[in-house]
Amino acid sequence: MPTDRTDAMIALPPPKTDGGHSLEEVLGRRRSIRELDTPPLTLAEIGQLLWSAQGITGADGLRAAPSAGSLYPLELYVATAEGVFHYRPREHDLERTPGADVRDELRKASFDQACMTAPAVFAIAAVFGRVAEKYPEVADICVKLEVGHAAQNLLLQATALDPPRLQRALGLPADQVVCYLIPVGRGHEA
């Protein structure tokens, strides 16, 4: 990610919609890797990963992951060496949040998992109230299913073991609860 940007909004390159790999091929290659190389992800790679989890996929405004009642309670963040960025699906851009590199705090909040200092750590937060207004009896289940859909779309490992500490580390609003962390980098060459 560029480090010379001082504005709050960072436009992302358009997502690729024809990657040239079959679903079966991608599923066969997907593995959880805990030892990640340190080169940072490009802005295009970060944008592609965010789009795959919550990006707009059609003119109707629907997103890459299903959502109960199309209420979209998820908020995606990415923590890098440059700080924490909030993904805005409609604009397909990043909003820089106040603060600096929080990946060490994420590592500490995740029971000292070293992979949380990966070049990029994606956090999936949820605003349960968005679903609870329409589906009060099943809001918790609906949101957690949506988190699973979005995280599976990223096809990477993640964990959220201490949500209040993670919420503070990321500087999230009080109504957002961290549900998932996804460290992303490049695996060591075998």
Its domain, for residue 101, covers 35-187
Check pLDDT > 90 for residue 143.
yes
89-117 pLDDT, tens digit per residue, is: 999 999 999 888 999 999 998 888 888 88
Residue 175 has what pLDDT?
81
Indicate which CATH number applies to the domain containing 141: 3.40.109.10
23 lies in some domain: no
Instruction: Using the predicted structure, report yes or no on whether residue 76 has a pLDDT greater than 90.
Output: yes
Contact 51, 97 (CB under 8 A): no
Does 61 reside within a domain?
A: yes
Residue pair 69/134 in contact by the 8 Å Cβ criterion: yes
In sequence order, which ranges of 66-138 are alpha helices (DSSP H)? 103-109, 129-132
Distance between CA 153 and CA 71 in Å, rounded? 18
- CA-to-CA distance for 71 and 133, rounded, in angstroms? 10
pTM comes to 0.80
d(CA 6, CA 173): 22
More confident site: 174 or 187: 174
Give the torsion through C-alpha atoms of 186, 63, 66, 25, to 10 deg: -40
The reply to whether 28 falls in a domain is no
Residue 29 lies in a domain: no
CB 183 within 8 A of CB 36: yes
64 close to 52: Cβ distance less than 8 angstroms: yes
Distance CA 77, CA 94 (A): 9
How many structural domains compose the chain? 1
Has residue 146 got a pLDDT over 60? yes
CB 68 within 8 A of CB 135: yes
Does 87 fall in a domain?
yes
More confident residue, 4 or 177: 177
Q: Is residue 19 part of a domain?
A: no
Q: What is the pLDDT of residues 2-44, one digit of tens each?
A: 444 456 899 999 988 877 766 677 667 666 666 666 678 789 8
Is residue 42 assigned to a domain? yes
**pLDDT (average), residues 171-186:** 69
Tell me what percent of the residues of the chain surpass a pLDDT of 90. 42
Inside any domain, residue 25 = no
